[in-house]
Structure 1
Amino acid sequence: MLQEYDHAELLEIWLKERKIQNQSVHTLQAYERDVSDFLLFCAHKKLMLSDVETSDLREYLAFKVENQNLSPSSLQRMLSAIRQFMKWAEQGQFMSFNPANDFQLKRQSRPLPGLVDIETVNQILDQPEPETEVQQQMWLRDKAILELLYSSGLRLAEVQSLRIKDVDFNRQLLRITGKGNKTRIVPFGTKAKEAVMSWLQIYPLWHGDFVPEANVFITQKGNPLGARQIENRVKFQAQRAGVNVDLHPHLLRHCFASHMLSNSGDLRAVQEMLGHSNLTTTQIYTHVDFDRLAQVYDQAHPRAAKK
């Protein structure tokens, strides 16, 4: 049965135990500062310690980064103090589980992946088709590739190895075999469905055997399209659209993740669609959308209203 104490009492008890364990005065002061700050955040959210979830911890650390411009080492120190406090609270049955157990920060900051805005992506995908018949056919294939990369966040190898039997047009789902031969099911949009269906009408003309095991994307000779060929076609179609972007398949995957997360805020769902085994890999996409941040601020903060 969980024991009921208020936050200040719990922190005081914990710090006394740390002092008995001969922790230095400097360490105790840092513990008190870091943990009390987090508990104050919980109090503002009207959260009891037993109700804290991983999402609350993530929100708190994001708040500290955005407002105090903390270094990675400061964040690690802060998280370490909170993790130790919650571990102690769990062992003492002040909370049923420790949400900080599996929460990790990357030791080295990773640069954000380059992004292309939605308007630029649309400019590439909605560009006019070429004039010659052969180029029109190649465009239909390339557009299907581009649409799937952006619609479903597929890796290059996943597009290359996609087979006809992996595409469920009725439910608009793809069966993807990703890293480590792990299989996942991801949705694809209506635009991508239309593009793939248009391409498959051309498919038999390129001597492609329309059988379930066949690759979806092939060359004009009917052979499976290679990874380098896909990269070159993606780059070419961006250039043809007049876009000054070094477009490659992984960049479209980045755009998918960023735009999905920006509009949904559902990190777990984006993780599933990307096929990330670890949520921290997906968290690289949780960079600040400053336009949205300003909009939320203007709507939510009592002192933000513009007269």
Structure 2
Amino acid sequence: MEDKIQQFLTYLTVERGLAQNTIISYALDLKQFKAFCCRRQVVQVNRVERNLVLNYLLELKKTGRSSATISRHMAALKAYCRFLVDEQVLDSDPMANLESPGLQKKLPGVLAQDEVEKLLDQPRIGNTGGLRDKAMLELMYATGMRVSELLTLDLHHVDCEHGYVRCTGKGSKERIIPVGTIARNFLLEYLGRGRPKILGGKVENALFLNMRGQRLTRQGFWKIIKKYALEAGITKIITPHTLRHSFATHLLENGADLRALQEMLGHADITTTQIYTHLTQSKLREVYNKHHPRA
């Protein structure tokens, strides 16, 4: 079983081109499934059957795993079993037509438009770090990029003259996203007087740098946005993707086309994008209840 899991992970990396974080997540989930199989004395991969999988999912539920965790394990197992069928290790797919019972997508937390304004007003552009932060947060809200995409940008990925950014998303898929005037202006200012001061004569391709002149990390970004949220008096839970979710929700609230939003967000499946329609519908319900005389 271990050999087949390693072959599957290699397949995901080489042929599917999945992100490293996804590969690591699948590896951990399948390691746990393998341990369960061993406890049930199933060590040959061709003995993986539907009842075994169902008992495994039941065990996850009994041990108090969240719906999101169980759903993630199911996604890993579905991909793994499809791989085993394609490799002719299994005659039939034990995960076929197996749905996640009662699992719902968790709606992402978003900021109201005035809260985004407060957050983006916090960086002090008179100093180098503040100017970097302002350009970075404005660019993220202007494009809806994932944090990983934002932080892997190099200088040549940004075209301030024509107003677009080219980023590489999940599955190594590249897309081009327009950049608004405000984000573009602060980006130009950062490139002109902020970034050169941080570098101090060193050479680095990364667009956004820490104060040592190296590429900014996800942890570094997380600390920055938490700090500004606190300074802005925002009490909502902030995550690294809060600006991405807010970008998507605000576009839909202002009449953006769902397909265009899917393209900008880099979603392979439009059903992923549709989660934001639930948020806008909730907003409509809130407005209705507040203002309709017979609500």
Q: Which TM bucket (shorter chain)?
A: 0.5 to 0.7
1-side partners of 2:162 and 2:124: how far apart?
28
Please point out which of 153, 165, 177 is paired with 2:144.
153
Matches within 5 A, 1:200-211: 200=191, 201-207=193-199
2-side partners of 1:187 and 1:245: how far apart?
28
1:291 Cα deviation after fit = 5.4
1-side partners of 2:196 and 2:165: how far apart?
21
1-side partners of 2:149 and 2:283: how far apart?
33
Q: Which range is displaced more, 111-120 or 199-208?
A: 199-208
Q: What corresponds to 2:232 in structure 1?
A: 241
Matches within 5 A, 1:208-223: 214-223=205-214
Q: What corresponds to 1:228 in structure 2?
A: 219
1:127 Cα deviation after fit = 3.1
2-side partners of 1:129 and 1:294: how far apart?
35
2-side partners of 1:259 and 1:265: how far apart?
9
Is the Cα contact below 8 Å between 1:160 and 1:227 reproduced in 2? yes
Matches within 5 A, 1:10-89: none
Instruction: Provide the TM-score with structure 2 as the length reference.
Output: 0.58
1:305 Cα deviation after fit = 11
Q: Indicate the SS of the match to 1:184.
A: strand
Query: Rg larger in 1 or in 2?
Result: 1
1:280 Cα deviation after fit = 0.6
Deviations 1:157-200, CA, capped at 9 Å, x for gaps: 11110111111112210001111111000011111112211221
Please point out which of 270, 281, 287 is paired with 1:279.
270
1-side partners of 2:150 and 2:183: how far apart?
13
Instruction: List runs of 5+ in structure 2 lacking aligned partners.
Output: 1-98
What count of residue pairs does the alignment treat as equivalent? 191
1:208 Cα deviation after fit = 5.8
Q: What corresponds to 2:130 in structure 1?
A: 139
Deviations 1:195-238, CA, capped at 9 Å, x for gaps: 21122121111126687x71110112211111111111111121
Q: Indicate the SS of the match to 1:223.
A: coil
1:293 Cα deviation after fit = 6.0
- Is residue 126 of structure 1 aligned with residue 118 of structure 2? no
Superposed CA RMSD in Å reads: 2.8
Is the Cα contact below 8 Å between 2:123 and 2:131 reproduced in 1? no
Please point out which of 85, 100, 110 is paired with 1:115.
110
Instruction: Provide the TM-score with structure 1 as the length reference.
Output: 0.56
Identity %: 39
Deviations 1:65-85, CA, capped at 9 Å, x for gaps: xxxxxxxxxxxxxxxxxxxxx
Q: What corresponds to 1:189 in structure 2?
A: 180
1:254 Cα deviation after fit = 0.6
Deviations 1:50-73, CA, capped at 9 Å, x for gaps: xxxxxxxxxxxxxxxxxxxxxxxx
Q: Indicate the SS of the match to 1:138.
A: helix
Is the Cα contact below 8 Å between 1:262 and 1:289 reproduced in 2? no
Instruction: List runs of 5+ in structure 1 lacking aligned partners.
Output: 1-104, 298-303
